[in-house]
Structure 1
């Protein structure tokens, strides 16, 4: 279940570090200095900030090195998008050896941030809260059920759309008041857009694809060995890359344009592996095949549950939007059958549920009016209030 955390969780730690995703910068108009955003994060209550884009530059270097050392095993598939990795482990097990066995930037950022915080404060690890500002539900799921590591160093995940309005209140464009914090450049921040990770490899032998349906076609073609000469395959479940995540606030195409504009004011890169020689970029736990037949404790039980999966899938919208944290509607149906999710994790099903609930309450109030002789005007006011509440719930879930 991709349920993100509240900003109020900051109060539960003695020291907190914000990990802003690279796509956060593209949510703001006319941004020319990322320190404006980073300083605002400090102002709104975090004790420190470590950019995920800085970690992305480290992972870019590690990826270049890994590919050069394993040329015969190429092409490698990016593991930065948890939704894509999950699809591969369920539907394309023959491609598991193609997965790049390196931790995603957000995990590297969390490890560095925690180590720095412990060194700076002397606090025990449990007193330090590492908060990832996420553009996507699948990365919320990753923090709770990580891939490639046994336990994530991320403590809490907050939605970008929740952080955005708070940040606006704390942002200042008076650069004389800013503390220099930024530690990434075009390579790291470019990871927010489809093709950005590949661009950081400084090679032409790559394929970059975004959108869940397009990614499925590419994976199918990879399985059929239709591509030749590729070194790297970057797949993003969200349209446009992470800027298209459902927890963002900006249109992904406008966000992409904003990122390109911001690039004018950035160096190529600012963070290099030579400054973090002790980091282990490699997976500590390999991703294994997860067949659908594991739905039950036996083959027969799994077959029976597969029928339930089909029924639930038919009830879902079939948009494969990823808003629930699962890569496809069928994957959500499987999670529901396993007891790891509910139908209301689907945002469209949730809206339907709220609408039905509103109708039921409206019916009850009318019944109450008839049985108790209550004033029509008071009942109408109550019904109007319920409708407004429903509208507000729907607005917040967008």
Structure 2
């Protein structure tokens, strides 16, 4: 299988088939065969959890190289506030973002602009929303998770684009007005904390086209930023909106809404648990639900370098410092509403033919009865039920089960 699956790369030289990623995958999208892991791309939600838990660093997010920016005459660095959390609180955010001029960018623009616009829109939308709770649309992993596992909640998704896409559009339009460059001459590169963003730019959901040209990971630039910070040639303006900066941590988006009927959930396993509760109508007193796939929010993304708890605390303090800032409404939110339907993803179906799918389901139940049901993962599937599905679908066979193989050898 191609080592590049969505936004995750698997290095076969480093992978030893230890099954750690398979066991920790929240959506059971990973299998291990012939001592190597592989990802079922149709099931992957690009959460990057496998990247974080791999003890051998065999999995990584795929991003662009910094040198790729020079393919464009005019270059814009799109900065996520997560970047501020990677440095100690003594380091001024102005110094951090100013470094990008020395890295070769012509302009710096922060995603905080888009976050403020969405906050203002959400405050109004919640009052008239027919499906509650309104679920934040900022995390692409959560959107894909809902498409796969919770299609009944699609109508609850906030119908506006992410802060990244909105800010990229703002930055591009401002550059077109202030320079003589055309749209195709302008490259907008997002400095990303997570792998999910990469896939969302390649396969946009809810919109036709992305405004992002490329993606560069925070982790790949950290050392360069650190080295250049003490010799900055030119400083740039800093968008000091504390409410928008707070979006980088779990709960920041909800706090900016200034309402009490909200729930902020971080960590993909916790998100799945809460969405199940909402789907079963066990939670009915919420207006807004903020879901973040990464622990502690975007500061816990797999393309960062700092401990997520430390980073979250830093963002909290930076946000408080600038919390009284009142942004100007430069763009109308209606321009950024989703104009494409978010469709359910039926990749978990056993067969397109309903009668065959039912037959396979019955067969899976029979196979599960023969398996030991201890979910050891030694077979290369995350659970005995998953192995039964793989057997029925023709991807595995019963001899892959170590327990059954051992018992058969004893009998012989």
TM range (shorter): 0.7 to 0.9
What is the match of residue 171 of structure 2?
A: 113
| Cα distance in 1 for residues equivalent to 2:184 and 2:313 | 40
What is the match of residue 33 of structure 2?
A: none
Shift of 1:167: 1.0
- Are 1:293 and 1:303, in contact at CA under 8 Å, matched by a contact in 2? no
Shift of 1:39: 0.7
Label 1:234 to 1:278 Cα distance change in 2 as closer, same or farther (>3 A).
closer
TM-score by length of 2: 0.70
Label 1:199 to 1:178 Cα distance change in 2 as closer, same or farther (>3 A).
farther
Shift of 1:304: 11
| Cα distance in 2 for residues equivalent to 1:299 and 1:58 | 45
- How many aligned residue pairs are there? 316
- Are 2:148 and 2:348, in contact at CA under 8 Å, matched by a contact in 1? no
Shift of 1:232: 0.3
The answer to whether the aligner puts 1:41 opposite 2:100 as a matched pair is: yes
Label 1:158 to 1:305 Cα distance change in 2 as closer, same or farther (>3 A).
farther
Deviation digits for residues 221-243 of structure 1, max 9, x if unmatched? 01011112211000111000000
What is the match of residue 98 of structure 1?
A: 156
| Cα distance in 2 for residues equivalent to 1:85 and 1:241 | 15
Deviation digits for residues 153-172 of structure 1, max 9, x if unmatched? 10101111012111112213
Deviation digits for residues 121-179 of structure 1, max 9, x if unmatched? 222211110100110101111111111111111010111101211111221388xx763
Pick one of 76, 79, 91 that aligns with 1:20. 79
| Cα distance in 2 for residues equivalent to 1:278 and 1:261 | 28
Q: Look up the SS of the partner of 1:221 in the other structure.
A: helix
Task: Please report the RMSD computed on the Cα atoms of aligned residues, expressed in angstroms.
Answer: 3.0
What is the match of residue 242 of structure 2?
A: 186
Shift of 1:115: 0.6
- Are 2:261 and 2:288, in contact at CA under 8 Å, matched by a contact in 1? yes
What is the match of residue 226 of structure 1?
A: 282
| Cα distance in 1 for residues equivalent to 2:356 and 2:191 | 40
- Are 1:55 and 1:271, in contact at CA under 8 Å, matched by a contact in 2? no
- Are 1:23 and 1:135, in contact at CA under 8 Å, matched by a contact in 2? yes
Q: Look up the SS of the partner of 1:157 in the other structure.
A: strand
What is the match of residue 315 of structure 1?
A: 380
| Cα distance in 2 for residues equivalent to 1:116 and 1:314 | 55
What is the match of residue 137 of structure 1?
A: 195
Shift of 1:262: 2.1
What is the match of residue 344 of structure 2?
A: 289
Pick one of 246, 249, 264 that aligns with 2:302. 246
Label 1:74 to 1:170 Cα distance change in 2 as closer, same or farther (>3 A).
same
Q: Look up the SS of the partner of 2:212 in the other structure.
A: coil
- Are 2:265 and 2:290, in contact at CA under 8 Å, matched by a contact in 1? yes
Pick one of 22, 30, 34 that aligns with 2:89. 30
What is the match of residue 316 of structure 2?
A: 260
- Are 1:188 and 1:269, in contact at CA under 8 Å, matched by a contact in 2? no
What is the match of residue 60 of structure 1?
A: 119
Q: Which one has the bigger helix percentage?
A: 1
Shift of 1:295: 8.3
Unaligned runs of 5+ in 1: 319-329, 338-398
| Cα distance in 1 for residues equivalent to 2:240 and 2:355 | 53
Label 1:27 to 1:120 Cα distance change in 2 as closer, same or farther (>3 A).
same
Q: Look up the SS of the partner of 1:129 in the other structure.
A: strand
- Are 2:118 and 2:333, in contact at CA under 8 Å, matched by a contact in 1? no
Label 1:125 to 1:221 Cα distance change in 2 as closer, same or farther (>3 A).
same
Q: Look up the SS of the partner of 1:183 in the other structure.
A: coil
- Are 1:194 and 1:240, in contact at CA under 8 Å, matched by a contact in 2? yes
| Equivalence map 1:318-357=2 (5 Å) | none
What is the match of residue 217 of structure 1?
A: 273
Deviation digits for residues 349-393 of structure 1, max 9, x if unmatched? xxxxxxxxxxxxxxxxxxxxxxxxxxxxxxxxxxxxxxxxxxxxx
Deviation digits for residues 89-112 of structure 1, max 9, x if unmatched? 111111111111110100101110
| Cα distance in 2 for residues equivalent to 1:313 and 1:80 | 37
Shift of 1:117: 1.4
Label 1:222 to 1:28 Cα distance change in 2 as closer, same or farther (>3 A).
same
